[in-house]
Amino acid sequence: MFEDPHWLHGALNEVAGSLLGMDYSAESADFLADRGFNVVHGDAQNFTLDRQFDVIVAGDLIEHLENQAGFLESCKRHLKPDGKIVVSTPNPWFWKYLLLAVIHREVPNNAEHTGWFCPRTYRQLCERFDLELTGIEFGSRYLRDRIMPLPRGWKHTSWHGTLVLKEQANQGAADIAIQP
């Protein structure tokens, strides 16, 4: 995990001035803390950390949550006034998933996933919590997907977006540039 070059917390730890991670598994949080990472045990669906953040990153997390409302409300409580929430999640319209749906009628996925979110449905959900989904990008770590001659919403394994408070979005706040 912490030696994988694609491990998001490790990559953020290299560039962030200050970073706090949260893990649902107390054992994993303790393991990482013992190796020098600033990680606490907690539930992303209901947390209180007594501090606010400029950016909250939820990388490949939302598809695992049973309580999206708890997650979004917890994040909102912890955002600084100009703060942003950055999410990434599997793209349900990825070409391979579409093909599997045609062949098998059901797409096999991670048994820990509770749902699929496309940008449109997640935007609609976030609007209920006075959050606006902006800065949507599609990406894949695999070159074969990135060069495939398909529309961007079909050829990438994941999508990434920035959530801001609605009043912030209405003031013309700039999006965070997300590199796929």
Rounded-to-integer distance, Cα 105 and Cα 88, Å:
25
Whole-model pTM: value is 0.87
- Residue 60: phi and psi, rounded to 5, are 50, 50
Whether 56 and 88 have beta carbons less than 8 Å apart is answered as: no
Q: Give the Å distances, CA to CA, from 128 to 22, 31, 59, 122.
A: 25, 37, 21, 10
pLDDT in tens, 57-115: 999 999 999 999 999 999 999 999 999 999 999 999 999 999 999 999 888 889 999 99
Whether 82 and 33 have beta carbons less than 8 Å apart is answered as: no
Provide the pLDDT for residue 8. 86
Tell how strand 21-23 and strand 39-41 pair up: parallel
- Residue 97: phi and psi, rounded to 5, are -65, -40
Q: Is the pLDDT of residue 175 over 60?
A: no
pLDDT band for position 13 (cuts 50, 70, 90): confident
Rounded-to-integer distance, Cα 3 and Cα 49, Å:
27
Tell me the domains of the chain and their CATH numbers. Answer: 43-170 (3.40.50.150)
Q: If you average pLDDT over every residue of the chain, what do you get?
A: 90
